Structure 1
Amino acid sequence: MKPLRVTPTHGPEGPRLYVTLVTGRTLAWYDRDTGRVSLLAESRRDDVLGALAPYVTGPLTVGPPPVPTPADLVRLSLHPDDDLAPNRPGEALYAELGDAPPARRFRQDPRREVLAALQSVGTELEGLEHTGWRVLHSVPLPGRAQLDHLLIGPAGVLTVHTVPAHRRFHVNASAAAPHLRRAAHDAERASLALAAAVRPVLAVAGASRVDGLPPDGLLLLREGDTHAVLAHLGGVLKPADIESLYASARNRHTWLRA
C-alpha cells in the first residue's frame, strides 16, 4: 500500500494538516488548534492516525467532519499541488536562495532583501483575515511571472506588488516607474484570470519616508498603514462573493489564462 501524504496549510480556518492519497483524494484533516481529526474514510482510520502521529502533540478527538464550510469544499475538491493557499510570501525565492553557490552566501544577495520585504508585507496582509479578507501569496502566472500578493475582501480584489526600499522612496521618481508599470500590469492579468475588476497596489517596505502621489487608480501602501488605508475603501463585495472569488483564485489552473 502506498504511503499517505501529509500537507500543512494555514488558511482562514487555522493551521491544518491534510492527509491524502498520492492521487490527491483527501482522507482526513487535523485541526491543530482544536486537536480534532476529521475523518472522511473510516476504513483508513489506522492509516490516517499513523501518518499524523509524527505531527500530533496532546490528546486527539477523531470523528466525522462537521458540516463543511465553503473553504472546506474548495480544499477538498483541489489536488494539493493545485491549491495556492499554502504558498508563503516569496515562495520561489526559498528554493533559489537555498541553491545559491556557497561563495555568494557570504555576500549580500539582493534576493534576500526582496524576500524580507515580501515577508514583511505578507505578514501585514495576513493580519486582515479576521476582518473578512482572503490573502494569497506568490500566485504563479504563465511565463514564470507571479503576483506577489492577492487580496480579496470587502473592498474588492487587489493585487499587491512589493518594493523593497532604502531610506526615502519617491513614487514619482524615474526609478519607481517600472514598479508602477508592474503593479498595473499585475492587476490587468489578475482581472483577466478572475473575470473581475482588480485594483493595483504598490506596497513599499523598508522606507523611512515615502513621498509623492501615485497615479489615479493605483493604491499606495506604506508599512504599518495597511489596515487604515483599506478600511477607508468602503464595501464592494458580499461575503459570498469573496468566498467565490477566493475559491477560484486559489486554484492554480485559474491563472493559466492570465
Structure 2
Amino acid sequence: MSGLRVIPTWRHGQERLYVYGEDGRNVAWYDRDTSRVNLLTEVYREAVLDALRPFVVGHVTVGPPPVPTPAELARLSLHPDDDLAPNRPGEALLIALDRAPAPQRRLRGDPRRRALAAQQLVGGALDGLEGAGWRVLHSVPLPGGSHVHHLLIGPGGLFALHVLPAHRQRIRVGDPMVTAGRGEPEPLLLRVRADASRASFALTAEVRAGLVVVEPTALDVQAQPRGVTLLTDAELPGLARTGGLLKPADVEALHAMARDRGTWERV
C-alpha cells in the first residue's frame, strides 16, 4: 500500500506515531515507550514498516493492538464531561474565582486564593508520585457542594487528602478541633473524616483520611487525631515509600472508578 502518512501525536502523556492510509483511516501506530508497532490489519504490515523505518530505532515488536484491560475499557467508554481526571489542583476554587472575583479594594487578600495556592502546591507534589505507581485526582466533587481536595490511589492504599493553608501560621491540632494562628478553633477533623468515609462508600474500599498542613511555622499536635494521617506538604514525598496494599491492576481499576463523576453522585 503506497501513500501512507506518519503523524506524531501525544496521547495520555505518551508519544505515538500514527500511520494513516490515503483514505484517512488509521491502519497502525507505533508506541515509542513500548517499542511496539500495533497493526490494525496484517494486510498493510510491510507497507507500515517501510513508512515507519525512518522513525524506528532498535528492535520493535509487531502485532495486533493488545486487548484493553477492564480499566482501559471503562476509561474509553467514559464521556469527557464525566471524566474527573483532567481536573486541575484547586479546580473548584478556580471556577469559583472566575465566576465571582474578590472585590479589588478588599483590604485583606481573598482567602480563596491562599487556599488555591496551597492546593496547587500539594497537587504538584502528588502528581510527582505517578512515577512510583500512584494515581491522583484533584477536586473530586461530592453532593452538597463539598470536594475532596485530592484523592490519592497507589501501592500504599487510598487517601482522601484535605489541604489546610497555613503560611506563616502556628497550627494547633486537637481532636476534632484545629486552630490556625489567632483564629477560632474549628472542628476540621470532622469534615476530613466525613470526606474519607464518603469516598470509602463510593469506591467500596478503605479510604484513609489525611490532613495536609501547608507551610506552617509550627505544628503543635495536642492530641493525635483518630483515624487521620497528619502531615505537612514537605512530608508528601514520603507517601511514595509506602506500599504492600494494592497491586498495579487494583490501582488502575480504582482510579478508573474514581474518575467517573457518576461514582460520587450518591454519597
Category of TM-score, reference length = shorter chain: 0.7 to 0.9
What is the match of residue 67 of structure 1? Answer: 66
DSSP 3-state at the match of 1:257: coil
Quote the offset at 1:85 in angstroms: 0.3
Percent identical across equivalent pairs? 49
TM-score scaled by structure 2?
Answer: 0.70
Separation (CA, whole Å) in 1 of partners of 2:19 and 2:163: 37
Aligned counterparts of 2:13 and 2:125: Cα–Cα separation in 1: 23
1:36 alignment counterpart: 17
1:219 pairs, out of 217, 222, 229, with 229
Taking only aligned residues, the RMSD between alpha carbons, in angstroms, comes to 3.1
Matched, 1:180 2:189: yes
Matches within 5 A, 1:89-108: 89-101=89-101, 103-104=103-104, 107=107, 108=109
CA distance in 1, matches of 2:85, 2:231: 23
Note closer, same or farther for the CA distance 1:257–1:31 as it changes in structure 2 (3 Å cut).
closer
TM-score by length of 1: 0.72
| CA deviations over 1:173-199 (Å, ceiling 9, x no partner) | 653652211110111100110111111
Match 2:202 to one of 176, 181, 193: 193
Q: Distance in 1 between matches of 2:19 and 2:165?
A: 42
The structure with the largest alpha-carbon Rg is 2
SS in 1 for 2:215: strand
One-letter amino acid of the counterpart of residue 88, structure 1: R
Distance 1:38 1:80 in 2: 25
Match of residue 172 from structure 2: 170
Structure 1 runs not aligned, ≥5 long:
1-16, 18-28, 47-61
Whole-angstrom CA distance in 1 between matches of 2:145 and 2:76:
27
**1:104 match: secondary structure:** coil
Q: Corresponding residue for 2:137?
A: 136
Please identify, of 173-182 and 244-253, the stretch whose mean Cα deviation from structure 2 is larger. 173-182
Any gaps of 5 or more consecutive residues in structure 2?
Answer: 1-8, 27-37, 41-63, 180-184
Letter paired with 1:242: V
Separation of aligned partners in 2, 1:32 and 1:215:
38
Q: Deviations over 1:184-217 (max 9, x none)?
A: 0111100110111111000011212212153132
Q: Does the 8 Å contact 1:154/1:237 carry over to 2?
A: yes
1:174 and 1:35, CA in 2 relative to 1: closer, same or farther beyond 3 A? closer
Flag the 1:36–1:208 CA change in 2: closer, same or farther, 3 A: farther
The question of whether the paired residues in 2 share the 8 Å contact of 1:192 and 1:257 is answered with no
**Aligned positions of 1:138-157 closer than 5 A:** 138-157=139-158
Structure richer in helix, relative to its length: 1
